[in-house]
């Protein structure tokens, strides 16, 4: 997984500018159908904090990122928020959560890394816990602006997650164009 793009102040500022009009509001509405208000929730890859702020309206959210630059930005913009440095693969935290959320984060992982992340999510989500993740839809992978992007299709995601989570929702949606993205919501087995 290449994460150098998110490590410099310049690239973080560029990303914040590029993503300023993008948020997971529609995804979060779907998550709220499965996860109760005031649930503890880990957001993997909080980035600029746009989704964190929306999630924080209904849940007790712990934001996370592997980028110190993003963490610095998050803490400065949300001084009362809880943020931890966390790698999306190892998810090295002693805490457990009622839910785990990510918006276009786990597609930066190679399949083996994603499997390791799924196993670790299973470990840190409480019994009957809910996961909610979005991915770019497609096949293959590429390096874009120095970032590894792994595309997924419904059947592949189902295969990766179903040993650990009952799939409650797996659907395509439009982020920029019709059917370019996938949303997966699952419940711990």
Identify the band that residue 2 occupies on the pLDDT scale cut at 50, 70 and 90: very low
Supply the pTM of this predicted model. 0.90
Beta bridge partners of 137: 152
Helix (H) or strand (E) run with residue 80 in it = none
All structural domains of the chain, each given as residue ranges with its CATH number in brackets, are 4-188 (3.40.50.150)
Per-residue pLDDT tens digits for 126-156? 999 999 999 999 999 998 777 789 999 999 9
Kindly state the average pLDDT of the residues 13-34: 78
pLDDT at 179 over 90: yes
Cα 40 to Cα 15: distance, rounded to the nearest angstrom: 27
For 86, phi and psi rounded to 5 degrees? -150, 135
pLDDT band at 183 (very low <50, low <70, confident <90, very high): very high
Helices 9-18 & 68-77, crossing angle to 10 degrees? 60
Interval 155-165 mean pLDDT: 97
Query: Which secondary structure element, helix H or strand E, spans residue 155, and what is its range?
Result: helix 154-161
What contacts 33, CB < 8 A, 6 or more positions away? none
Residue 48: per-residue pLDDT: 86
């Amino acid at each position: 997984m290449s994460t150098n793009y998110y490590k410099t102040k310049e690239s973080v500022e560029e990303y914040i500018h590029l993503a300023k009009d993008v948020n997971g509001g529609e995804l979060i509405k779907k998550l709220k159908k499965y996860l109760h208000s005031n649930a503890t929730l880990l957001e993997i890859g909080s980035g600029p904090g746009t989704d964190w702020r929306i999630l924080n309206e209904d849940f007790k959210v712990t934001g996370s990122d592997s980028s110190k630059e993003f963490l610095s930005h998050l803490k400065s913009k949300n001084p009362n928020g809880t943020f931890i440095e966390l790698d999306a693969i190892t998810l090295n935290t002693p805490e457990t959560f009622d839910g785990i959320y990510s918006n276009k984060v786990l597609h930066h992982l190679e399949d083996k890394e994603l499997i390791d992340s799924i196993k670790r999510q299973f470990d840190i989500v409480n019994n009957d816990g809910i996961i909610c993740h979005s991915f770019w839809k497609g096949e293959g992978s590429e390096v874009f602006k120095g970032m590894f992007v792994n595309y997924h299709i419904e059947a592949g995601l189902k295969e990766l997650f179903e040993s650990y989570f009952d799939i409650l929702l797996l659907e395509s949606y439009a982020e920029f164009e019709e059917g370019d993205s996938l949303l997966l919501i699952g419940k711990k087995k």
